A and B are shown apart, each in its own frame.
Chain A
């Protein structure tokens, strides 16, 4: 799909946190960041811990307003609230323990103006897509961490977002589960045609999933490199066997190594 306008555009976005007590230096957390995401692309961001990745995500969903610069989604500025058409999956388990899997998935949907039949059909589709058909009536506490994260992904999917933001959604899962979840994310990316923005600390995850990978510097987080992977759209976790996968991962590490050292060094000085 070729469109003139980027799907989401960040222009000179900066975030500076002032100290709550008004004393000491302000914290320059992020930016300036300039970034255009194209319709339907899979973009991943990697960066050292504390580089402002999560701040970037919170700005993109309107939970925080940038100190400087602006963000537009489908041409409209994002200010103060999350626009329709953006869905988020957080790192932490966000499944509601008092609702069954089905009610969890239906949660966001019930707030939309859709007729009952359309709602039910979307729920069924999401249950099937995430492999949760047999578990629709159980409570999240009866599921594993990976399954609970699937519930959260399904809850986002049913609202049919055009842009899906994933904040280290597999961070709490083991390596094998992560690879398989990666396959599932790729498959739903193809099926939905949505744009995906993935935040991760795992270089291999970024290298395997994304069309483009942005590398962030240590604080204040800036994009210091953007790598294009040239993977075919129809890919899965088997590409980790390819030579090219190794090249991408090593290039990522080259860009990141110095920044990660800085992040660690800073922590040592601080502690």
Chain B
């Protein structure tokens, strides 16, 4: 492990120890935050009873569906927009300002339109993640060397075959960057929406536990979300790095 890595782990460990001692010393009210070791025990018991399995599965599968839609739709839209230069000129400034939109303000409207099921939550998560995928896909396609496209044309490849065999593989490191955003945004979208208004899911359970001062439920659920988000992100980063190393870029 590198020196930076060791310091990083030491830093996190110090924060945890600090938190643990502050709570044990009574400086932090246990009603506000529990000691890390207690969170861990609660987590184990929650997983053992399986009490929240339904919620966990609901949230993660909704986020998974949203992620896949955002990724596939984002890549396809990126490919199409890149071919239509005029459309791109029109849309580029909109993409640049897109994340200034507070997407959650549309949530009540989405519930009216789509009902109180999973659909509005998935929709809002896709809205959040999709544009990040489009922007990164466009960035990747811009960097496909012209000579690759000439090679495709000389080999008489049509637009579809060129996209599959040349453009997407060439742009893949950038698309993966977009995918990382999409993972984070789909979790944020789904859990945030569950927080505001829903009938189940981890966001709903966290909010319910919060309102009932049920820290033994709230913190373990937060840890699960952190764990899932960070490990998926790490997996994609590792893949991204492997691609860059193969290309001699890292």
A97 to B248, CA, bound (A): 9
Inter-chain contacts of B246 with A (CB < 8 A): 97-98, 139, 141
Q: Find the residue from A96, A107, A111, A142 having the highest chain B CB count within 10 A.
A: A96
Contact pick for B169, options A63, A96, A111, CB 8 Å? A96
A63-B248 CB under 8 A given contacts A82-B156, A98-B170, A111-B155: no
The total of chain A residues at the interface (CB under 8 A) is 20
A141 to B249, CA, bound (A): 9
A90 to B153, CA, bound (A): 13
Chain B residues 131-181 with CB under 8 Å of chain A are 145-148, 150-151, 153-157, 166, 169-170, 172
A96 to B171, CA, bound (A): 12
Contact pick for B151, options A94, A99, A139, CB 8 Å? A94
CB distance from B146 to the nearest CB of A (A): 8
Inter-chain contacts of A88 with B (CB < 8 A): 151, 154
A141 to B250, CA, bound (A): 11
Which of chain A's residues has its CB closest to B157's CB?
Answer: A111
- In the complex, whether B243 has a CB less than 8 A from a CB of chain A is yes
- In the complex, whether A204 has a CB less than 8 A from a CB of chain B is no
Inter-chain contacts of A142 with B (CB < 8 A): 248
Inter-chain contacts of B157 with A (CB < 8 A): 111
- Whether B156 and A81, one on each chain, are in contact in the complex, defined by CB atoms closer than 8 angstroms, is yes
A63 to B156, CA, bound (A): 10
- Whether A92 and B145, one on each chain, are in contact in the complex, defined by CB atoms closer than 8 angstroms, is yes
A97-B154 CB under 8 A given contacts A90-B147, A92-B145, A92-B147: no
Inter-chain contacts of A90 with B (CB < 8 A): 147, 150-151
CB distance from B140 to the nearest CB of A (A): 12
Inter-chain contacts of B249 with A (CB < 8 A): 141
Contact pick for B154, options A82, A93, A96, A141, CB 8 Å? A82
Which of chain B's residues has its CB closest to A112's CB?
Answer: B155
- Whether B248 and A141, one on each chain, are in contact in the complex, defined by CB atoms closer than 8 angstroms, is yes
Contact pick for B148, options A81, A82, A96, CB 8 Å? A96
Interface mask (A25-68 → B, CB under 8 Å = 1, otherwise 0) = 00000000000000000000000000000000000010100000
- Whether B247 and A141, one on each chain, are in contact in the complex, defined by CB atoms closer than 8 angstroms, is yes
CB distance from B75 to the nearest CB of A (A): 16
CB distance from B148 to the nearest CB of A (A): 6
What's the A-B contact tally at a CB cutoff of 8 Å?
Answer: 53
Inter-chain contacts of A82 with B (CB < 8 A): 153-156
Inter-chain contacts of A75 with B (CB < 8 A): none
CB distance from B71 to the nearest CB of A (A): 19
Inter-chain contacts of B155 with A (CB < 8 A): 82, 107-108, 111
A163 to B8, CA, bound (A): 60
- Whether A97 and B247, one on each chain, are in contact in the complex, defined by CB atoms closer than 8 angstroms, is yes
- Whether A98 and B145, one on each chain, are in contact in the complex, defined by CB atoms closer than 8 angstroms, is no
- Whether B156 and A98, one on each chain, are in contact in the complex, defined by CB atoms closer than 8 angstroms, is no
- Whether A94 and B148, one on each chain, are in contact in the complex, defined by CB atoms closer than 8 angstroms, is yes
Chain A residues 66-125 with CB under 8 Å of chain B are 81-82, 86, 88, 90, 92-94, 96-99, 107-108, 111
- Whether A98 and B154, one on each chain, are in contact in the complex, defined by CB atoms closer than 8 angstroms, is no
CB distance from A269 to the nearest CB of B (A): 29
A88 to B155, CA, bound (A): 10
Which of chain B's residues has its CB closest to A141's CB?
Answer: B248
A141 to B242, CA, bound (A): 13
Contacts A/B (CB < 8 Å), 18 sampled = A61-B154, A63-B150, A63-B154, A81-B153, A81-B156, A82-B155, A94-B148, A94-B151, A96-B148, A96-B166, A96-B169, A96-B170, A98-B170, A98-B246, A98-B247, A139-B247, A141-B246, A141-B248
Given contacts A63-B150, A93-B147, A94-B151, 9 further A-B contacts (CB under 8 A): A82-B153, A93-B145, A97-B247, A98-B170, A98-B243, A98-B246, A139-B246, A139-B247, A141-B248
